[in-house]
Structure 1
């Protein structure tokens, strides 16, 4: 009998519910959970493809020491000995953990407990530092706690939604669809998008403000100054629940309107339109994400936004409030357990002696960290200069994701002892480990995660742990035991969750925001069946009416919001306005005249260790790219689909040029996902300097000074192969999974002497397999196809310009039969013959629908996105491609009218 398991998606902070089905033959499929209050059955393209990413290809299945397989006892004994030795000789600050928002809360809790409460150092930081620590710092300055006031429902109840530094359509697609559906149902709802690029999110925007990078503080200061002169200010709320408004207003109003336009790069009309909308609309939600946080002034940006909501009292009530959208599935869970170097568990403060005492008493620990530890960038600096002697990296890939990534790699390589716990064996980081520990992956893990609206959900296992893979909390507990520490005798994650819940309520009595005391004492069965619930959930909490029930371990609950009636967590119960000054927005120079903005794309996740396994997800965008404005491309001499070389003082990369007027002048966007496993020189964070926000320690990844120039390629290539290619001898390559095999983009600075031999080496072809093809010396075109009987093994297409090949059609030939001679020559031509359709470049990853199929539907009379969806399904699942579909429709109809 097929078995269905309710679990939670392991990607972004939306925290969607997933139902995983395992059939009798072991086949796994996934669908959205219609009962989960985060997504109500919706899934994005990445979530829909989860079943395609759980194979054992590349998995780390056994502990390894210096590249050889070892037993768990030997590996764990070595980790405990080396960490204990470093501590004994150099002190507790000589060791560090670098952890991840991919960990479950139970893993995070044990790691934090071991480092801060037993080793006695706070040198535990997380890759969440890279995506949302500025929000944490802004919340703590304003509210006295790291509290997200609102809920997802507020996006649907608002009359104005402001999206600042958030490409919601691609980075949080399910929330985008909830917002788009609400706007369709209530056309009077307004959406403002604040982003230097016109992203796909702007498709539903009533106003797009193409702000200058790092112009956000100036913009929201200008808004505060405007509001203070209007009737939108809530004088009662200010008087009863806040302090510091006068200072914040004085700072904000010191800027003239002309200065505001200069600092933001926005025109007077757009500014006045935005200010007027915010002034007149009571129900306003301002969502902000990496575009705000990933900045050297990120904390100030957050406080500039919070100031506007505090000044109007638009916080904590239905349909209004500031809303931080987290990037990772358990960034919030990490915050709950003190996973950041400057926090304690259960939202307590490491700088507060009373909190330290409370946590130490609860843990019965021999010591407690007395000061904040090293934040991510500083932590790897300490690894580089030798202060850190032993480093444990868990579930993350800092060699790709950290700023100044080449320096981070050098630091890890030089560290005396490095442990990596991961699911994959050959990540860019794992290759430098002295000890590799095999961890459980999604589908095998058992624990909880917390999403952006403070909702705790279960990740449940539906697959057996492969070989010797073990939970991260188990690895940590075993090392703690071997180091001689008591208090880590956990037999199951339910026991850790119970301790976590108990600490949240310990000596709380409403003094701290994070309290899930209602869930203390769950037995294993109650934990196993625990439905999603939102905190706070104190033991003495008031039950909601049945009509508001959304689940919660059998306890009724209602949507919970903070601060509508004050109740802030500063000692006097008042929120703090923070006077913030706009930062310098121009970081370019004569040598580096462009501003690089890094970020995510729709169908990939972090460093591609999971999504890179899915051919469907790679079909939409199969290689790294640089998004350039057309005028900039002309000025530097880069043609469409040519290659561009980007440089900063820290490194250089080569990526494909994507020329589009969605980009603003002098700005370049490059995704952060590609690593050395999938591309030759595309680790974009090698260009990013280790510049951080002075309050939060979050790196600035959105405003990087770079240069751009054409990459001089003599030949461009595209190839498909049944077998995974060896690392090709090429000046540029980008590899991607494809149905039936692999696809690879190529470029060469000089001509290869023997292309047939190059193919044999790259695609591991037998010498007796002869190529079919042709070469044109005059044009430089070359086509080679290698077949074994009727089966295509590999094909290479070369040209002096970017290769004009029907790529998705060429990929499909890996699974086709090539019995007749005509079909073989069609293959060599690189395009389907007459009567054979080419789907074109993939637009809808959920249903693998290409641009040519959409164009055909439009020409057949489908003139709306809905009509196209009804005809060929495109855009009907996650909906994140709907903006692209609309653009194709508009282009077709415009061309038809000319």
Structure 2
């Protein structure tokens, strides 16, 4: 008997900037199990629900098997020849600034490094920018203004050893769940630890909070300006630190003089007590961390918000100490790596300045390149403006989907339509951006790539391949090197990622002499074997240095010319996209728990698609009542530049006059649910980061004449596009079927005939009519292959129930009867799914709570919910608060069980 050889590969998660280590077990070179890496310092074995289900996403569905030019398959040689020739022609005729690269935090550092070297050192333009511009470029600029270098001065252990943790503009419970779980555990171990959540929305993160400040959107800088004044007024400054290690304090303090507690309270729409209590806690805590993310960065004044936060930490001396500091948490898995290698248009590699002649010379001499970029290139929004204007004539887009992620989507579409040459490298065959590509290049995805990533605490980890590349897919660095060499450039003769990493590490230490914290000299010169075995390590990691790797700004010496940190005078500004009588509501946007970015990867996972199955727009009950909107109604949101349609979700978790919509849905999954359509092309003038947390909208209910809820067995021969004839549609994937929620302006008189013709499925069709409701199904070869419910009002049936029916080789009489009456089995009538890992639904959880189970961990013992990845614990906590039956005089505290 032959047994399959078993092995274990350690790699890094594909999602957020936490950078969790992952163990993948293989048998016969096929992945069989995935777990958190117990020894990885980022997660110590924890994984969130997305990481837990990574193996669900490595299918070969929707993959390019070969390069394409104008939708015709070609060889790799033909494709790289074509791209090299076309880029060369455009550069020869119009100059190097006529071409651009738009890259991604999904790239590995080695890919990023080659793209940056190619564009800035050989083409000679800085027109390379990244989708990381959209998530953390304001934080980069804030750190650089204050410290002289883009250095995050905190690590994850600080989160566990602080007395006061401030989550501002971050819903870490859903966006960085593993860190949230570390924080929750630390709070249980140290009950005196205080957590303050500051956000216009009461998110799941507020479940852990001792205090929740629901401030007016966009007023964060005023809150921290007032904190700086409070520290000074109450003699709570670290005068010694300010005098010895900072500059420009007096100027920054002068800018805060009008920000009294009363003025801050009025401006932020908080109570005086809330503001003064927050200030007092910050001032009197021995340590404090301000943990901030997109809610701070994605603003037309995001850099100033970051510096207002940094100012408070500099003034109080609460940084470069255990449990203290301004901690910007990165969104993408390798946004930090991109920052390091110069992936942004306004920087050179290795934290060097693009407009500094000495730095230009240093990089050019190290690369021995024919030229070097000497001025900043086009940032993301400017890049697509230049494409639309015809100034940039060729763009190469890598591992990102700007048609969904950038604001003002219609303008992005105009740019791509106008562009002479659009090259797209991606691990999928179709998405919103690939629709505009002249050249499509199949690149490897997570699980197929070899290289490194850097997480939010500056920790470098190896990403290792667990499966062979799909069909003709190549690594991005290989594709870039092939094209560079065909354009006649030397310096791209790499054969493996370890060689690229070695060159990168040597660049960080080249003529560094302690001037930059980013120094990987201890990692230079590694053999291929040593690189393959590299363990997670924080930078700086300096060869021969006797202090601990990862220590930054030793002896409070910063990266400025005089080694002092700089205070920045801040004048708070409200968002540029103001409300009006025509557009009276504010739209905010962000992530949900189980999806990631534009759903390229997570959209493949049936498990991840069951927690929240459709896009939604949250609005306050007062606004819903005024507008005549009921829960689950379809509603249209319109701004000055675009519109979307989604289901209403009425909640008091946000302020009246404000709305929220997730960012994930795109043209592959919904007809009109890309929230980017609502946002204008407004950005921070320093960082270029778009303002995508605030736009003015109007909201109204949408009615259609007919609705159709369709389920199609994935094993059927349905080749038709069921969405083509509908006026609104939504697609949801399950393991055995796809669900299509369709809506029509005009009634389809013979829905049975329409379903037969539209699907093209052959089989035994039948229909059941009850008033205005029609139920239609098709059996083929004994199996259920098609189900539809046609109504004159919006009704949806359980996708899990239908998915179960499609899994059966044949349906029994009872199942056929339940289909006709649209009555799901009791198992599938238990409410929405709360725990994705164990598929635990809302009703049994609520029943257990009403029966007296008032702790999250006790619910886990009974029902398993929350006992695997833990991502659902905050929702369990909310359900306890909502449904617990409390005896008179009894108190309940679910926070410590999160």
Q: Which residue of 2 aligns with 1:791?
A: 783
Give 1:789 deviation, angstroms: 5.5
Match of 1:10 among 9, 14, 19: 14
- Contact kept, 8 Å, 2:639 with 2:678, in 1: the verdict is yes
Residue 670 in 1 paired to residue 625 in 2? no
Give 1:396 deviation, angstroms: 0.3
Deviations 1:808-831 (A, max 9, x none): 333322224654333212123222
Give 1:601 deviation, angstroms: 0.8
* Mapped partners of 1:143, 1:881: distance in 2: 38
Give 1:316 deviation, angstroms: 1.1
* Mapped partners of 2:751, 2:340: distance in 1: 57
Q: Which residue of 2 aligns with 1:740?
A: 736
Deviations 1:762-816 (A, max 9, x none): 44422x421242231xxx3332222235522122223344316344333322224
* Mapped partners of 1:444, 1:496: distance in 2: 18
Match of 2:382 among 374, 378, 381: 378
* Mapped partners of 1:695, 1:642: distance in 2: 40
Q: Which residue of 1 aligns with 2:457?
A: 453
Deviates more, 1:562-571 or 1:392-401: 562-571
Task: Please list, as runs of the form range in 1=range in 2, the aligned pairs for 1:109-124 lying within 5 A after superposition.
Answer: 109-124=113-128
Residue 213 in 1 paired to residue 237 in 2? no
Match of 1:824 among 804, 816, 829: 816
- Helix, strand or coil for the counterpart of 2:50? helix
Give 1:761 deviation, angstroms: 4.0
Change (3 A) 1:312 1:543: closer
Task: Please list, as runs of the form range in 1=range in 2, the aligned pairs for 1:460-859 lying within 5 A after superposition.
Answer: 460-542=464-546, 544=548, 557=549, 560-563=550-553, 565-585=555-575, 587-723=578-714, 726-728=721-723, 729-766=725-762, 768-776=763-771, 780-788=772-780, 790-803=782-795, 805-816=797-808, 819-832=811-824, 838-859=829-850
- Helix, strand or coil for the counterpart of 1:622? coil
* Mapped partners of 2:677, 2:493: distance in 1: 41
* Mapped partners of 2:228, 2:656: distance in 1: 28
- Contact kept, 8 Å, 1:97 with 1:123, in 2: the verdict is yes
* Mapped partners of 1:837, 1:110: distance in 2: 51
- Contact kept, 8 Å, 2:452 with 2:460, in 1: the verdict is yes
Q: TM-score, normalised by structure 2?
A: 0.96
- Contact kept, 8 Å, 1:46 with 1:603, in 2: the verdict is yes
- Contact kept, 8 Å, 2:141 with 2:303, in 1: the verdict is yes
Residue 76 in 1 paired to residue 80 in 2? yes
- Contact kept, 8 Å, 2:31 with 2:466, in 1: the verdict is no
* Mapped partners of 1:864, 1:784: distance in 2: 44
Task: Please list, as runs of the form range in 1=range in 2, the aligned pairs for 1:286-325 lying within 5 A after superposition.
Answer: 286-325=290-329
- Helix, strand or coil for the counterpart of 2:865? coil
Residue 106 in 1 paired to residue 102 in 2? no
- Contact kept, 8 Å, 1:629 with 1:664, in 2: the verdict is yes
Change (3 A) 1:268 1:817: farther
Change (3 A) 1:49 1:763: farther
- Helix, strand or coil for the counterpart of 1:253? coil
Change (3 A) 1:705 1:837: closer
* Mapped partners of 1:322, 1:27: distance in 2: 39
- Helix, strand or coil for the counterpart of 2:608? helix
- Contact kept, 8 Å, 1:806 with 1:830, in 2: the verdict is no
- Contact kept, 8 Å, 2:187 with 2:193, in 1: the verdict is yes
Residue 22 in 1 paired to residue 12 in 2? no
- Helix, strand or coil for the counterpart of 1:770? strand
Q: Which residue of 2 aligns with 1:261?
A: 265
Q: Which residue of 2 aligns with 1:548?
A: none
Q: Size of the alignment, in residue pairs?
A: 879
Change (3 A) 1:819 1:380: closer
- Contact kept, 8 Å, 2:261 with 2:275, in 1: the verdict is no
Task: Please list, as runs of the form range in 1=range in 2, the aligned pairs for 1:34-49 lying within 5 A after superposition.
Answer: 34-49=38-53
Give 1:855 deviation, angstroms: 2.5
Deviates more, 1:845-854 or 1:134-143: 845-854
Residue 339 in 1 paired to residue 339 in 2? no
* Mapped partners of 1:469, 1:151: distance in 2: 36
- Helix, strand or coil for the counterpart of 1:170? helix
Residue 392 in 1 paired to residue 375 in 2? no
Residue 357 in 1 paired to residue 361 in 2? yes
* Mapped partners of 2:44, 2:11: distance in 1: 13
Deviations 1:402-451 (A, max 9, x none): 11111101211210011100011111111211111110111110000000
Deviations 1:811-857 (A, max 9, x none): 32222465433321212322235x65634211111222211232243
Deviations 1:239-263 (A, max 9, x none): 0000111111111122344432232
Deviations 1:737-771 (A, max 9, x none): 113111232333332222112322444422x4212
Give 1:895 deviation, angstroms: 9.5
* Mapped partners of 1:135, 1:100: distance in 2: 17
- Contact kept, 8 Å, 1:806 with 1:840, in 2: the verdict is no
Give 1:885 deviation, angstroms: 1.2
- Contact kept, 8 Å, 1:632 with 1:666, in 2: the verdict is yes
Deviates more, 1:884-893 or 1:290-299: 884-893
Change (3 A) 1:24 1:859: farther
* Mapped partners of 2:252, 2:156: distance in 1: 29
- Contact kept, 8 Å, 1:810 with 1:831, in 2: the verdict is no
* Mapped partners of 1:871, 1:352: distance in 2: 63
Give 1:2 deviation, angstroms: 2.0
- Contact kept, 8 Å, 1:715 with 1:747, in 2: the verdict is yes
* Mapped partners of 2:189, 2:758: distance in 1: 54
Q: CA RMSD in A?
A: 1.7
- Contact kept, 8 Å, 2:706 with 2:793, in 1: the verdict is yes
Q: Which residue of 1 aligns with 2:875?
A: 884
Give 1:861 deviation, angstroms: 4.5
- Contact kept, 8 Å, 2:421 with 2:438, in 1: the verdict is yes
Deviations 1:107-137 (A, max 9, x none): 0000000100111100000000000000000
- Contact kept, 8 Å, 2:517 with 2:553, in 1: the verdict is no
- Helix, strand or coil for the counterpart of 2:534? coil
* Mapped partners of 2:647, 2:46: distance in 1: 32
Give 1:543 deviation, angstroms: 5.5
In structure 2, the gaps of 5 or more residues are 891-898
- Contact kept, 8 Å, 1:313 with 1:564, in 2: the verdict is no
- Contact kept, 8 Å, 1:177 with 1:878, in 2: the verdict is no
Q: Which residue of 1 aligns with 2:191?
A: 187
Give 1:498 deviation, angstroms: 0.1
- Contact kept, 8 Å, 1:120 with 1:367, in 2: the verdict is yes
- Helix, strand or coil for the counterpart of 1:62? coil
Deviates more, 1:141-150 or 1:877-886: 877-886
Residue 326 in 1 paired to residue 315 in 2? no
Deviations 1:155-183 (A, max 9, x none): 00001100110000000000000001111
- Helix, strand or coil for the counterpart of 2:165? strand
Q: Which residue of 2 aligns with 1:551?
A: none
* Mapped partners of 2:238, 2:462: distance in 1: 40
Q: Which residue of 1 aligns with 2:893?
A: none
- Helix, strand or coil for the counterpart of 2:24? strand
* Mapped partners of 1:72, 1:813: distance in 2: 44
* Mapped partners of 2:270, 2:754: distance in 1: 52
* Mapped partners of 2:887, 2:750: distance in 1: 47
Q: TM-score, normalised by structure 1?
A: 0.96
